[in-house]
Structure 1
């Protein structure tokens, strides 16, 4: 096992669950505001105020390696790390991923979800749905003794039959008292390969899937990653803590059915 991967204590797991719940609550709070006519800058303002003044927590993205905002807002062909902007107004047909990371008592909760604005196209709805199914497939194999390759293989088994591609330049990661730590969680792979999971490890699974090619490029702002062919991209993310028989989903929301998860 990689000695650089933290194993959380029972007290640390409790703190991770608190941070994860707060991150999930930010997405729930934003739900009524994510609609046509709203700017991504306004969504960032709402999230920042809620995290700081209601949750008394810290928005992890703000200032992280110079990132200028408190959340990431990635629209249509933006794969990840989109920067909120008061001039970017959501319109009918857009799809948007909002990625939220909260720090509470020194521990992190990291999660994201997709929205389809108004009447999205059949393709827009399909890529969002497949991305969520891919996340759940990856989550379903997490338990003590499983391998990181099992997660990637499970995600591939959902995405590739649908003729979408899996982004390879970005991946999930370890989480705890650091925003990003070992292990790197690839969203493709072979069963039985890679790092073996152990109870107490915390990871994110966050598959990014593209309508066209998997290749991406980063814009001049140094953050915004887009699909190379400018076709649609979708992503969902949860933070998980490995247990003997399954996992704890610290960022679970009450609008989703996670009954397939054994904790």
Structure 2
């Protein structure tokens, strides 16, 4: 996916709108998570998220996103070796032992929120369990760097160090990104980098930060549907994402459900 490189700084009022978008998006993802059961299809998972979006009269920026052909769903649902952009299907059934990633975006009053999670289905392997733990931990390691005066490279380097020091790999081909009135704005935020380099972070900058982690290799391949991205070697992958605002008081996660403060606590290191 390509995107507009414009970087936008949001006002406090715009951040409030993005927080509302984030709450709706979190509710949609919670519904999707509840639908992930053995025997359910990936289309069932997408339908659960879409029902929440419909309830609020909002839509996902994923639907009809331009690419090899317009993206056909409101979410991406990816299983096991599939890293991102998995197309929901009425024939793809979820099984015990799978790990399932759901990515969803929400447009509310002209602003976008974007988040993702990976979850295990029933009993999963020890490697899968560790992969989920490390990928989510890498997200919060990156978030902790999102404070005024730091640079994009500080975020990227923190994610890379967290993942690689635990024996896994970060994707080199897909990145986090600025988000606001468009789903994809600047800056581009790779999951690897050098501290002290890149754009200077300032209050009002909003970023969809999304570590994408692979067990066996950083290399990927695109499947026959021309959207789904999988690990090149067939090994497991995981993906966690939040939309975060840089503020004078540090990072604020905009895609938490309701008044849940657990994400802020983890982001601040408490």
> Shorter-chain TM-score: what band?
over 0.9
For 2:261 and 2:172, locate their aligned partners in 1 and report how far apart those are by CA, in whole Å.
29
C-alpha deviation, 1:79, in angstroms:
0.7
Does residue 1:145 correspond to 2:153, yes or no?
no
User: Partner of 1:114: helix, strand, or coil?
Assistant: strand
Residue of structure 1 in register with 2:226 after alignment: 222
Does residue 1:238 correspond to 2:242, yes or no?
yes
Deviations 1:100-153 (A, max 9, x none): 100011100100011100100101111011000000100011111110010111
**Cα pair 2:33 2:45 within 8 Å, conserved:** no
Residue of structure 2 in register with 1:258 after alignment: 264
Deviations 1:26-59 (A, max 9, x none): 112223221111100111122112211x121112
Does residue 1:168 correspond to 2:169, yes or no?
no
C-alpha deviation, 1:257, in angstroms:
4.4
- Cα RMSD (Å) of the superposition? 1.4
* TM-score between both structures, scaled by the size of structure 1: 0.95
For 1:250 and 1:22, locate their aligned partners in 2 and report how far apart those are by CA, in whole Å.
10
Residue of structure 2 in register with 1:28 after alignment: 30
* TM-score between both structures, scaled by the size of structure 2: 0.93
**Cα pair 2:253 2:263 within 8 Å, conserved:** no
Deviations 1:174-199 (A, max 9, x none): 10000101100111111111111111
Residue of structure 1 in register with 2:21 after alignment: 19
For 1:63 and 1:56, locate their aligned partners in 2 and report how far apart those are by CA, in whole Å.
17
Structure 1, gaps ≥5 residues long: none
C-alpha deviation, 1:8, in angstroms:
0.5
**Cα pair 1:246 1:261 within 8 Å, conserved:** no
**In structure 2, which of residues 107, 123, 133 is the aligned counterpart of residue 129 of structure 1?**
133
* Mapping for residues 7-156 of structure 1, pairs under 5 Å: 7-52=9-54, 54-65=55-66, 66-156=70-160
Structure 2, gaps ≥5 residues long: none
- Count of residue correspondences: 259
Residues 6 and 139 from structure 1, CA distance in 2 versus in 1: closer, same or farther, beyond 3 angstroms? same
